[in-house]
Amino acid sequence: MQVFEYAGLVIEASMQTLSRGKWRSQITPQSVMGTLQALSAKYDIHVFLADNRELAARTVEGLLFHFLRKQYG
């Protein structure tokens, strides 16, 4: 993702949901959180948590709006 000027990851879940770790996979909540923190710190990928689909969509829309305004504003 180094070729991109901005990198963001929108996850349709809350911090509380991630910390509970109630999913089918064997991955631990600590591993998920550690991976997200590493993406942010090491690779400058902005991580956004959205509690539901509507909030995730609005987050993406807002990010695109601000990115485009910065580019062409």
In a domain, 53, yes or no: yes
In a domain, 48, yes or no: yes
In a domain, 1, yes or no: no
In a domain, 16, yes or no: yes
Which residues form the domain of 45?
8-72
| pLDDT value for 1 | 72
Report d(CA 13, CA 10) in Å as an integer. Answer: 9
In a domain, 50, yes or no: yes
- How many independent structural domains does the chain possess? 1
In a domain, 2, yes or no: no
| pLDDT value for 45 | 94
| pLDDT value for 3 | 82
Does residue 31 surpass a pLDDT of 80?
Answer: yes
In a domain, 56, yes or no: yes
The pLDDT > 70 percentage for the chain reads: 100
Are residues 64 and 50 in contact, defined by beta-carbon separation less than 8 angstroms?
Answer: no
